[in-house]
Structure 1
Amino acid sequence: MDAHKLCSVINIRTVLLLLFILFSTAFYSQDKARRRSIDSLGNIIKDKNVYADKGSKEILRLCTEIYYQSKEINYNKGMLQAILKMSEVYMNERNYELSLKKISEGKVLSGKENDNVALSSFLLGEGMIYSEMGYTKKSRYALQQSLELADKLPSQDLHVKKAAVYRSMARNIRQEGNVNHYDSILIYLNKGYSESKKMNYNFSYKPLYLSSFAMDMAKEYFRTDKISESEKYLNDFQIYMKNERDRSEFIYYYLLKGNIENKKKNYNTALEYFDQSRQIVNEYKIYTNALEDIYSGQAEAYRMLQDYKNEAVYSTKAKKITDSISSSEKKILNTIVANGDTVKCQKENLNYSYWLFILPCLLGVGGTAYIFFRKSRDEEENEYIRNAENELPVEEYNISFEEAISPQEKERQELEIEDLKELIELVHNNDKSFHLKFHEHFPLFNQQLLTINSQLSHSDLEYCALIKLKFDTKEIAKYKNVSTSSVFSKKYRIRKKLDISTNANIYTWMFNIG
């Protein structure tokens, strides 16, 4: 090669190298700028006054924006922030189904990232929800896992997580309703109180932690008729909260003050406190479940004042909320938050002259590839549907679970035959609480499937649950109110998503998961 050609080759390579460096730098800078933008939004939702400043709906909107912007650039830290806050908002609104769904997604993602702080938070949230719903064993298991992870965290995170876990453990014992465990509740509350006091002085959430434990101590002493002790901790609560802008926690302060005044037979004063509590609920649109106790307290005050008309009014209101809460804990929603609350992500400015040139080419190539792929997939799907009826027949529901279970499964949580019958009965009754109950009996099932493919939809997971319980195509179609061909197609797509071999029986495969 002569010198002239050699110089030409070197010049071309140099230009290509420079172009590569230029584009890499541009994309890196753009990616870095978007991360800074996401982190800026993240700081908004992490602010302790966010509920006062934004409200729950706006928080969810911001979280959704953060989630999809982060997902677009594979920024897992941003996704975890958004998922954690979403699960918190849904939990506050007692929408436990959506909260557990976000927690399940967050656990998988934090596990992949080895983010023990986030994982501990998700386990804590899971424990709190199970406690509120009365599943105290499941709650204790999740809380214990959260506590074990907390011991591995830096000191500040350690004190925060331990305080929150101890508070939830106290609530767990309270849910079980054993009066002999009163001392245990106070022990856990005092442990959490102590951890809160160890937090850094400049930690902005420290007053909120201290005030929450003061409030819980006040409630415990009130339950045992130790009114003076209860009022002492209510005074402490006021001191801790004196510089806080967010007044939402005063919902419970005024509620408890009202109950105390009822005990003291100061019924008109009690009604004033209950009214103040209700006004804050309406202002912040948070902790609406407190309305049940507010209305009950008002009904009691009116009864003692012999105002039976108002007593009936507020008793009815309290009962409606009780029935509503009971119903909401059973209800399962069939859409993910992304379908209902999706906010279009902000798009970066593009070089339109470049895209006007390249877009027709991409469309042409993409269209051809899609037609070829679609034809190939349709042929494969039709072949699957033609052979689908030959799949393993569904076994009778009264089979011995001990005989059907695999050795690996025996090492996991054992399920009573009655539990299995309960799940099957929910499907036969077309009860939409099925998937929530299924998740309670098989807590690892969804998590393991999402580990294989994190893109599985809620609908995919529900079909997988039905397959695990050995429902045949016709039964699934009846429960989902779709055609049998739709079920065949759905099974085919699930196989693809989970990379299940066409030679493998999908029922056997699902049975060995979770």
Structure 2
Amino acid sequence: MNAFARIFLIAVFCLNFLNSIDGKEINSVHLDSLFAQIFSNPNHVKEELNSLKASTLDIPDSLNFQKFNLIGVYYGVFGQFDSAYHYFFKAISYTPVMSVKRADALRKLAIVYRNQQKNKRALQVLSAALRLSKRFGDKHSTAMIYCEMAGNYHALFQDELVVKYLVLSLDILDKLPNEKYSDLSIVRNNLARTYMNNANIDFAIPLIEKSMEQYKNNHDLLNFNLCLFDYAECLLAKKKYVKADKIIKLAILGSKDFEPKRALVQGYCLYGKLYQAVGKEKLADTYFSKALQNISYAESKNVLVIVSNNLVILNKQKKYHEAIALAKPYEIEIPEANWEDRISFQLELTSAYLGLGRVDESIISFQTYIKIKEAFSKVKSNYRVSELQNAYQKLNEEKDAKVSEAVSWALVNKLKYQLFFNLFLVGCLLFLGFIIYSRYRIEKQKKSLFFEKIRAEKAERMLSQFELESQKIINQNSLSTIENQKNEILELDYSSNVLNQKLDEVFNLLKDDKNISIQELENKLIALRPVKNYWEKFYEKFERLNADFINKISSQNKQLSHSDLQFIALVKLNLSPKEIASVFAISFEKVVARKMELSEKLKLNQTTSLDEYVQSIV
């Protein structure tokens, strides 16, 4: 179990275990004291836990939950995740189905799933826990669930979601009163390391500095020195080598009383990077070799950079067998390693296979490199890609160095010419596509105007028929029938007036000038929009049917524009979005977007639609 995962697991278990204790009976206090001794006296705790497991006493559900939760924490802290899973699962059965306690128990179960690399299953469990914590308004539980979700997305290499959930967690914890600094620091450090892995150093540095300040104020020297190593790594990335050197020395010195071996490995690794950056390759190789000798004490985030740099040394010495033997244990994916280290490791492994002439294995290794490179765009260690590609071209060529070099240069030049040709071809295709699209757009607009004119003529005939029927209804004083027909009359009246004017003028323009360009056609269409006089007539008719509606809604919502009132008037007439789109000569999607925009402007809640609000005004 790597140190980062262990620290994270211990902190999460410790901070939430105390929330599970109900009451202050002697048995509860005893279990609480056992929890406090997990690290200071693990052998005694183990004996007590064995007694608890063998106990057949009938105790309340709250104490059963506390007992099994304690056993699960013990096994989880010491890396026995199958046993931890068993006891956490038993603890869940003693929690109310709908409770914050159930949410916390599910989160701990998800931690076990994550350490078993069952990340998708862990995310399913966390989703259930999140629903419970949100339902009961437990913000601390919600924040820690977000943090655990980020851990699983990190294992799945979805860093955009890692950042999202860590930021959500940090935002909640920052706002909670009297929140323990350890929770904040755990989340803040995880977010900083995610930024570091993606080369967002400017985002990572302020987070690390804030954590260092908190650790220093709380006299937490172990975590303070761990932060110093991260800070030194950021300084190296910013090319502040002198300051980085001082910070590394300070971190190693401060860690000698806690975990000296791990501190040495981190220090050696950082010194290797430092000397590599300033061009002192021999010193860099020396420090990476020293780090490799103590690699079992290192955090996993340092493993690949140490191994890959030692692979470089072995490949330079043509010790390909030793290089492959060194790389074998680390071919499995290591979530804490950053993308640059993965790329470098895979390239060096491919070089070792090529050196031994093991073509099939080198191809598989190179394909793995391609997959990683495509998955993670922030990779800077691609300086050897062309060399490896050339190596594949050399496999069936003579082994003479001069001939191989000539083939390599020929390949590079060929790729350049091919790239230029492809770019030229793409440009030609884009230009041809633009011309075809322009012609298609003109023809489509002509057809659209033609069909709109036909629909307008049909609407005019229907309008005349409805006007005759309406006059008969008015003469018979059938007010209820008038109300049923008004929406159709107004809709057809509006469509006929607007479309007739627009289509007649546009078709006249098209007849006069058939070679009119797209831009000119668009300008003419814009100029032929309905004039203000029509809307004044429309408002007169509308006010007769809906007295003072416009005045009421405009007085209540002064932020509405004239165009907004026109749109709302059509909504009041129960016109469908498709009909409104036809009236304004816009697309259906724009009508829907306009409704959403007006809902926001009117500050309507999610349960009240624009149509309901407009119809409620009488």
- Higher RCO (C-alpha 8 Å, min separation 6): 1
Task: Answer whether TM exceeds 0.5 for this pair.
Answer: no
Shorter chain as denominator, the TM-score bin is: 0.3 to 0.5
TM-score normalized by the length of structure 2: 0.38
